[in-house]
Amino acid sequence: MKKSVILFLTLFLIVFLACSKSASDDNATPDDDQSQVPQNPQQLFPANFRATGSSANDILSNTNFDRLRIEIAYVQSQRNFRPTDEAINQFQDFLQQFTFKDNIELVFTELPSPNEEDLTLQEISDLEIENRTVYNDGNTLGVYIYFADAPSEGDDLDEGLVTLGAVYRNTSMVIFEETVRTLAGRSALITNADVESATLNHEFGHLMGLVNLGTPAVNDHEDVDAENHCNVDPCLMRAELEFGGAGKSSLQTLSKGDLHSSCTLDGMGLVKQIEANVSRGAAAAPDLDAECQLDLETNGGRPNTNG
């Protein structure tokens, strides 16, 4: 009798465990396996998805990050939209001149074309979230620059309204490489590298917090009609470069929802400045004026040793 009771209890336990496992399996979903759930970069790396200029001191100084890794993402389709070596070399010189980052690594990433006639800021952001691979890591600060094969939405070349670049987060910016090449190709005086270099340096100046965009101005030199741009002529960050000398009516505003571009660099204004510089034998890209240089130095940047 005792053996029968033990046998019965054993069989009951086996059946109970089998049913419990079956019920658990029936209720399981793929989301229950956290290793299979794709992670959102904005949740994983929130420090790389903040407002433009909020990482200015981190870019300029070595207090929190002594290494800088920049992902150069560019479209590779029937045409290669990778920036010229000349522009990249000048961009690195610019970084080493105004920041304390001696350890700068560039990571080049080929991307397929999104096959869009033009790009909105939201589409640019979506492409970044889908493709970006470089983020903050330990003592390394990560930056993402996308070289697009399509113009900005709202551009009108016939009306002289074209955008060369834009910044939209603290470590994110876009260069409209198709537009860069179109404008450079229309001039007998300037090259793709000239326009690329000036655009890169101007937009990265905003990531470094210029003007009053995370790096406070020591002396007042912000244009009253053009927020976050300099009123000193000549200067890489002056307002006329953004607005093409025609005022705010020429600005193609890139904004949607929580996304907003703190600068949408006007192509016509910059090209005219580059042509003027080259015609008189000066460097193609304008330099930062003394006020902007002082602002960067005060916020942790490298002191100006060029006088």
Give the pLDDT confidence of 20-70 residue by residue, as tens digits.
444 444 444 444 443 444 578 999 999 999 999 999 999 999 999 999 999
pLDDT at 192: 95
Share of the chain above pLDDT 90, in %: 62
Q: Which two tokens stand for residue 81?
A: 């939209």
Contacts of 281 (CB under 8 A, 6+ apart): none
The torsion angle over the Cα atoms of residues 196, 158, 261 and 71, rounded to 10 degrees, is -30
Sign (positive or negative) of CA dihedral 138, 96, 163, 242: positive
What distance lies between CA 13 and its chain's CA centroid?
A: 61
Q: Which two tokens stand for residue 116?
A: 């869009």
pLDDT at 240: 65
Q: Choose between 182 and 255: higher pLDDT.
A: 182
Q: Choose between 40 and 304: higher pLDDT.
A: 40
Cβ atoms of 204 and 279 within 8 Å: the answer is no
Q: How confident is the model at residue 245 (pLDDT cuts 50, 70, 90)?
A: very low
Q: Where are any strands of DSSP class E within 5-60?
A: none
Closest CA to 70 of 108, 17, 42: 108
pLDDT at 256: 44
- Give the pairing of strands 140-147 and 163-169: unpaired
Query: What does the alpha-carbon distance between residue 181 and residue 186 come to, in Å, rounded to a whole number?
Result: 9
Ranking 114-118, 149-153, 215-219, 257-261 by mean pLDDT, the lowest is 257-261
Q: Which two tokens stand for residue 291?
A: 């006020």
Cβ atoms of 198 and 236 within 8 Å: the answer is yes
pLDDT at 24: 42
Q: What are the sequence ranges of the domains in the chain? A: 41-298
* Range 41-298 has CATH code 3.40.390.10: yes
pLDDT tens, position by position, 146-171: 999 999 998 888 887 888 999 999 99
Cβ atoms of 233 and 127 within 8 Å: the answer is no
Share of the chain above pLDDT 70, in %: 81
Query: What does the alpha-carbon distance between residue 251 and residue 145 come to, in Å, rounded to a whole number?
Result: 21
H-run or E-run covering 199 = helix 192-207
pLDDT at 224: 87
Q: Which two tokens stand for residue 235?
A: 């200067």
> What number is the average pLDDT over the span 173-189?
93
pLDDT at 38: 55
pLDDT at 270: 84
Q: Which two tokens stand for residue 51?
A: 């407002």
Q: Where are any strands of DSSP class E within 155-248?
A: 163-169, 172-175
pLDDT tens, position by position, 190-207: 999 999 999 999 999 999
Burial 156-179 (b: 16+ CB within 10 A, else e): eeeeebbbbbbbbbbbbbbbbbbb
Measured between alpha carbons, how far is residue 134 from residues 45, 114, 145, 157 in Å?
A: 10, 20, 10, 34
> What number is the average pLDDT over the span 260-272?
78
